[in-house]
Structures are given as C-alpha cells and as structure tokens.
Chains A and B, each alone.
Chain A
C-alpha cells in the first residue's frame, strides 16, 4: 500500500514535487462534497458533509446511532438518492452512472442481507450470478471465500440456522464475491461477541493489506481506533472531526478526568465545579458534558488530589470520577459535548422456530 500525496488534504505525508491542482483527486477513490440528505418530512440525516477516502486505506465513520453513517453509505453505494451535493466513486458520479459504481463496489449492510431459506453456498452462488462472474470461476471463488470466513463445514446448511457471527461472516463474503475495488461495511461487528469481532477485524485488515480500499462505519471506538487509517467523527449529520486516530487523540493533548456529582442541594453542580476548579494550575480546559464535566490536563494523576479537595471545599459530592488517557471516546466528547453510547447491544434475533443459535466454530 502506498500513501501518495494529496494536495487537497492538509496532512499530506509527501512534501516532494507539488502535484498540480488538477489532479487533486488523484489518490482519492471516494470524493464527497457538501452531501445533504433530507428525509420526509424534514429530517436532515446528513447535513452538508465533505470528505475523501484515499485509495488503499481503511477509512472509518465513527458516530452513534442516527448520526447519518448509514445514510451516507447508502448514498455512495447508490441505494438512495441524495438531496444535494456531490458523491464520486473511482471517478464515477453517483448521479450520472450508478450502474458503473455498482460494478466496482461491495457492500455489507448493517442488517445482514442473506436469504435464510438458502444455504450459505446457495447464497454465494446467487451473488456470483448477480455479479456476472464467469461460470467456470464461481465454485472456486465460493470455496475460497468459505474457507476464508471459516464457514466450510456449515456451507450446505440453511443460513437460517447460523449464529449471528456466522451470518455476519457470510454477509461479508457475499460483499467480496465481485472482487470489489471499494468495500463498504456498515457496522461490520455490531452485535458480535468479542471473539468474532476480533476475527472480523483480522480479516478486514488482511483484505486491506491486499490493496482493497475499505470504508467502514462503526459505533465502537475501539474498532475505529484499531482498524481505521483515517476517520471522521460524525454526529447529527455533521462531520465533527477528521484525522488519523493518533492525530485525533493527540488533538486532546492531555489526560481526561471526567466527573459527575450528586445533586445534594447544589443548584448547578457543573457550574459550581467549574468555578471551584478554575484556580488550579495545570488544567488546560474544563468542558461541560453529558451528566458532568470533563477536565483536560497534561498530568492528570498528579492533579486528582487537588481536584477532590477543591470540589470538597465547594460542598460538591462526587458521584463518579474517571481518569483516562485520551481515547476516541474523549475525542468524541470533546467535539460533541456528549458521550458516545458505547454499550454493547446484542439485539435478540427472532427466528420463527425459537432460538436456534449455534456456537460459531
């Protein structure tokens, strides 16, 4: 994988021969500008976002549910029409030639789109036909993918009998059938247990190492941190921050102490706390966030005793105190003022015959 220079992106790694402006999009495989999607009646799911995905990178969209991640992915993959703006994939405009885009992308949706009444192998065969793979290549391609996603033993069982992890993996294999130039993964590990999640991560990384560009959305900080070369933090249809995970965390430049208070007669504990802490040396910034305050400081562990004393003097009862080195969680909090809901939600799968989940191999 080679990272080429891009004049349109400030954090260009190359400072050599200046590329002419005309080829500014030279290494961007996805180019999105001022994208807006308004759903009826007046929900601005995506509200004027711009970003680029470079050829060969893993690009992440990090944000909570309802941030506009899926809407963005659906516009780029030609599933829904945008309200305004531009979206270009590998030089092809979504408006002008959606069919051209469909030929070069693979897409695994958030809800797994597999046919439960067909076997895993039959699902893959259908996908081969839909992507017009030459007949003589099909079985070989299917065998190869089944092996890669570790579904060989279950290949001839109905997909309806698969566990959640197996279904996600089969769906991923479906998206890979056409050898896509760009792979779109909408929350590839949502609902998976840690073991399955790690396996999917390894696999995605492997695909990327072979040169595939990957655009993924996630609501998991850890996933974005581990996988993405670059990422956008998205909330309420806006891009709040953009950069490499390291640069985003670096932008905080400090440890974070998050505090919340008991409401014992103090009218506005957050404001009181901010005032009480204002005199302490070494605090870079204090920010009000969901349910408390965030204190940013270079050497937070040394400051904690002072914080506690100052708050005590101000008659504030601390309900919770957490000290962290900067994580993408903190980045999200810094740019949105809110915590991301990172609880692991494993939705109950409904099957008409009751629970039929099996342990993944």
Chain B
C-alpha cells in the first residue's frame, strides 16, 4: 500500500465526514446559535463579575466578555468533541463501518480520516466564535501570531478530546451512552477550571481541583493569547504540553479500542 493511496483514503474519509457535518442542521445550531447564546447570556448575566475587586488585576481585562471569549471556545470545542464518537456508533449500526472494513484500505485511515474531519469542524467553529467575538468588540492582544496559536490550541485540544468520546463510542457501541458519559466527563471540568472565572476568585475546593484540571491550563493559554499583549510562551507552551499529554492518553486508548473493533 503506497503512501499516496493512504493519503487518498484519509482524504476521502475525512471528506465524507465533513460533507455529512455540513449537511446536518444540528451542526449549524451548535456552531452558530450556541456560541451566540453563550456570549449573550453569560456575559449579560455575569457582566458584573468584572467589577469584583481583583478581577482586572488578575486577568488583565476589565471586560468579562473578553475574558469569556476563551471559555466559549473551550465550551464549543468540548461540545463538538463530545459528538465525535457518535459518528462511529452510527456507522456501526448502519453497517457502513463494515463497508469500510471490507474495502482494501489501510484501517488506520478510517480513524485518522475521522479525527481530521473533527479537527476541521473545530477550526471552522473556532473561526465562527472569533468572528463573533470581534463583532462584539473583543480583540486579540497578541496579534496574528496569537490568532494562529489560538486556532492551533483549539485544534489540538479538540482532537485530543475527540479521543475521549470516540473511545467511549467504540467501547459502548451506543450513542446515548457516548453522549451521556462524554457530557459527564467534560462539562464539570469546564466549571471546575479557570475558564469562566479567574483563579483568584475561585473558592476552595474548586480552586484546589482547578489546579489538577487540564482545562485550567488550556483556558489560561487562551485567556493569555486573547487578553495579555506580548506572547507569554510559558503559558502557551504549558497549554500545548497538557493537551499533548491528554491527547497521548486518549488517542492511544482510542487506537487500541479501534484496533479491537476492526479486527473482531
């Protein structure tokens, strides 16, 4: 099997998922409506958070909206990654996975194509959020390089977290369980992190948990890129490091489970 064939397979499989995603009404909802709702509702409800003494000093911005932009990216990526696994369940149920398995393709391209399509979807959703944020007056303090890094974090974060729901999907072979378990394992993490509230304002035990929560470091990275002028490489680097570690675990587990599924 040549490398050219392999790339062709990955491209076709990723292309299929992207086409499917774009044709689904829920995708438009989650990618467009939900970020708007988050921006509008949360920032309206919590606007005065920014007035709490210490908020501006610890975050670097007096606008909760600006602070919250990073949280919207995280929330959207989490919601998007949560659904990634469901695609495999539908393919197992419909028999399409068998069609892929019986084709003379490298089986890794089935998984890789899917993950790449998830990545592409997440890039698109991140772009939508950033456009929305610009429209609402949020700027990126670190400029073009910061913008690129924002996309890179969202992409890597999304693929790493897609591994969780894909793993659960392959293990349970059931879409309801996949969504439920993914929801339980991801959303609490969002609120137990510094994504929606700066560390200074978190009370124990949340502040203690946040230290061990990987989302905290990803949120810090995003907040830093959006708010703080001058790139702070140690914060951004830490975010990538954490994503790399989580991704290594989730993607290894997913790969193992995938091998077991396709070689049954």
Q: Is A356 an interface residue (CB 8 A)?
A: no
User: Which one of A105, A117, A174 contacts B20 once the chains associate, using CB atoms below 8 Å?
Assistant: A117
Shortest CB-to-CB span from B67 to chain A, Å, is: 38
Q: Is A115 an interface residue (CB 8 A)?
A: yes
Contact B96 A129 (CB under 8 A): no
Chain A's interface size range is 20 to 34
| Interface 9-mer from B102-110, B152-160, B250-258 | B102-110
Q: Is B203 an interface residue (CB 8 A)?
A: no
* Nearest B-chain residue to A117, judged by Cβ: B20
**Chain B residues within 8 Å of A105, by CB:** 102
**Chain B residues within 8 Å of A109, by CB:** 95, 98-99
If the complex has contacts A80-B264, A111-B95, A115-B96, are A131 and B104 also in contact, measured as CB distance less than 8 A? yes
| Interface 9-mer from B4-12, B78-86, B171-179, B227-235 | B4-12
User: Which one of B5, B11, B19, B103 contacts A117 once the chains associate, using CB atoms below 8 Å?
Assistant: B19
Shortest CB-to-CB span from A158 to chain B, Å, is: 8
Chain B's interface size range is 20 to 34
**Chain A residues within 8 Å of B101, by CB:** 78-79
Q: Is A81 an interface residue (CB 8 A)?
A: yes
Contact B104 A102 (CB under 8 A): yes
Q: Is the interface of B mostly helix, strand, loop or mixed?
A: helix
- Complex CA gap A103/B264 in Å reads 19
**Chain B residues within 8 Å of A122, by CB:** 19
- Complex CA gap A117/B15 in Å reads 13
**Chain B residues within 8 Å of A143, by CB:** none
Q: Is A309 an interface residue (CB 8 A)?
A: no
Contact B102 A102 (CB under 8 A): yes
* Nearest A-chain residue to B101, judged by Cβ: A79
Contact A102 B95 (CB under 8 A): no
* Nearest B-chain residue to A111, judged by Cβ: B95
Residues of A109-127 whose CB lies within 8 A of B: 109-118, 122, 126-127
Contact A126 B12 (CB under 8 A): yes
If the complex has contacts A126-B12, A129-B12, A130-B12, are A102 and B23 also in contact, measured as CB distance less than 8 A? no
Contact A114 B104 (CB under 8 A): no
- Complex CA gap A122/B22 in Å reads 15
**Chain B residues within 8 Å of A327, by CB:** none
Residues of B1-37 whose CB lies within 8 A of A: 1, 5, 8-9, 11-12, 16, 19-20, 23-24
* Nearest B-chain residue to A174, judged by Cβ: B99
Q: Is B204 an interface residue (CB 8 A)?
A: no
- Complex CA gap A310/B8 in Å reads 74
**Chain B residues within 8 Å of A296, by CB:** none
Q: Is A284 an interface residue (CB 8 A)?
A: no
Shortest CB-to-CB span from A137 to chain B, Å, is: 14
Q: Is B100 an interface residue (CB 8 A)?
A: yes
Contact A118 B102 (CB under 8 A): no
* Nearest B-chain residue to A107, judged by Cβ: B102
If the complex has contacts A99-B104, A130-B9, A132-B104, are A113 and B98 also in contact, measured as CB distance less than 8 A? yes
- Complex CA gap A104/B100 in Å reads 15
Q: Is the interface of A mostly helix, strand, loop or mixed?
A: loop
Q: Is A217 an interface residue (CB 8 A)?
A: no
Q: Is A77 an interface residue (CB 8 A)?
A: yes
Contact A79 B102 (CB under 8 A): yes
Contact B96 A118 (CB under 8 A): no
Contact A102 B24 (CB under 8 A): no
Shortest CB-to-CB span from A353 to chain B, Å, is: 11
* Nearest A-chain residue to B94, judged by Cβ: A113
- Complex CA gap A79/B71 in Å reads 43
* Nearest A-chain residue to B107, judged by Cβ: A99
**Chain A residues within 8 Å of B24, by CB:** 117
**Chain A residues within 8 Å of B1, by CB:** 99
Contact B5 A132 (CB under 8 A): yes
Contact A79 B98 (CB under 8 A): yes
* Nearest A-chain residue to B109, judged by Cβ: A130
**Chain A residues within 8 Å of B97, by CB:** 113
**Chain A residues within 8 Å of B264, by CB:** 80-81
User: Which one of B12, B19, B95, B263 contacts A81 once the chains associate, using CB atoms below 8 Å?
Assistant: B263
Shortest CB-to-CB span from A31 to chain B, Å, is: 20
Shortest CB-to-CB span from B101 to chain A, Å, is: 6
**Chain B residues within 8 Å of A132, by CB:** 5, 8, 104
- Complex CA gap A224/B23 in Å reads 41
**Chain A residues within 8 Å of B12, by CB:** 126, 129-130
Supply 8 further A-B pairs (C-beta < 8 A) apart from A102-B102, A102-B104, A109-B95. A102-B103, A111-B95, A112-B95, A113-B96, A115-B96, A117-B20, A129-B8, A130-B9
Q: 7 pairs across A/B with beta carbons < 8 Å?
A: A79-B102, A115-B20, A116-B94, A127-B103, A129-B12, A130-B105, A131-B103
